A and B are shown apart, each in its own frame.
Chain A
Amino acid sequence: MRIDCKHVWQHISEYIEGDVDAALRAEIDLHLETCEICSAVLDSTRNVVILMADDRVFELPAGFSRRLHERIDQELELH
C-alpha cells in the first residue's frame, strides 16, 4: 500500500517523536524520497519544534529567580 500526502501529514508529529511502527516509518520514508512537499512539511514542522526548545524564545522575567528564592527564605524562617 502506497500512502498519500494526507496520510503522511496525519503522522508527522508521531514520526518526529519516533513513535511510528517500522512498517509505517518505511512507508513514510519511501513517500518522502519522492515528495518534495511532504519533505518540506516535515522539515518545517521539525524546525519549528527545534526553535521552540531554544531558551531564548521564552525567557523568565528579570529577577524572577531572585524574588522566588527570597520568598522561599521567608517561608523557611517561619517554618
Chain B
Amino acid sequence: MDCIRRILDGEKQLFHELIRPCERSIYLLLFSLLKNEADAEDAAQETVIKVYQNLHLFRGEAQFRTWVLSIARNEGLGRLRKQGVRKEESLDAASDEQSGDYTPAILTSWREIPTAALEQKELADLLRNAIETLPEIYRNIVILRDIEEMDIRETAAALGISEGAVKVRLHRARGLLQRELAPKLKAFAPKRKGLLWGRA
C-alpha cells in the first residue's frame, strides 16, 4: 500500500515496479482466455493501463495481484463478448455439484520427476498443449493455481468463484491432465540402474 500511496502522490515511475511481479500472471490468465499470443499481449497492456488509471480505487481489501487479475479477467471476457464467443461457464459451473469422479491413467511406479527433460522442447510442448486443450473453466484454475502457484483463496477471488468451486475444478483438471499426460511423460523420466519402467 505504501508503494501505491507514493505513486498516487506523484512518484509515477514506481508503477513499473508495482506491476512487474504481476506481469506473468496477467499474460497467462489472458492467454488462457483468448488462446492467442497477440490478443493476450494487447489485452495485458490494456489491463495494466486500466490498473494504473484505477489505482486510486484499490482499497487493499484483497491482495493487489488478485485485484489486478480480476481486472485482467474482465478485460479478457469483454474481448470474448465482442468477438461473439458464447460463454458457457454457467453450464459448466452447474456441474461443479457433481462428484469428482474420474478414472486416472493406470500406471505402475513413476516416482521420478523429469524436470531435466524440460530442456527438451517436446516435453514443454506436451504440457502446454494438454493445458491449452482443457475446457476454459479448468484451464483458468490450472493457470492460476498450478502454474502461477496462487493459493485457493486468491484463485477464487481472481476468478470470482467460490473456494469450493476452485477445489472441485482443480481436482477435475488435474485428473484430466494426469490421464492425458502421465502415460506420455513417463517416457521422459530419467532411467535409473535397477529400475525397470513399464513393469506390469
User: Judging by beta carbons under 8 Å apart, are B171 and A58 in contact?
Assistant: no
Pairs A-B, 9 closest by C-beta atoms = A13-B171, A44-B182, A40-B107, A45-B178, A41-B104, A71-B45, A56-B118, A52-B146, A76-B12
- A interface, over-half SS: helix
User: Judging by beta carbons under 8 Å apart, are B118 and A51 in contact?
Assistant: yes
Please list the residues of chain B having a beta carbon within 8 angstroms of any beta carbon in chain A. Answer: 12-13, 15-16, 19-20, 23-24, 27-28, 31, 37, 41, 44-45, 48-49, 52-53, 99-115, 118-119, 123-124, 127-128, 131, 142, 146-147, 149, 152, 167, 170-171, 174-175, 177-178, 181-182, 185-186
Q: Please provide the chain A residues from 34 to 79 with a CB less than 8 Å away from any CB of chain B in the complex.
A: 36-37, 39-41, 43-45, 47-54, 56-58, 60-61, 64-65, 67-69, 71-72, 75-76, 79
Show 13 A/B contacts (Cβ-Cβ < 8 Å), sorted by A.
A16-B174, A37-B106, A41-B104, A45-B175, A45-B182, A48-B174, A51-B114, A51-B123, A57-B118, A57-B124, A68-B45, A71-B45, A72-B52
Q: Which B residues are in CB contact (< 8 Å) with A67?
A: 41, 45
Q: How far is the CB of A7 from chain B (nearest CB, A)?
A: 10
Please list the residues of chain A having a beta carbon within 8 angstroms of any beta carbon in chain B. Answer: 6, 9-10, 12-14, 16-17, 19, 36-37, 39-41, 43-45, 47-54, 56-58, 60-61, 64-65, 67-69, 71-72, 75-76, 79
Given known A53-B146, A56-B118, contact A64–B174 (CB-CB < 8 A): no
Count A-B contacts at CB 8 Å.
146
CA–CA, A45 and B176, complex, Å: 10
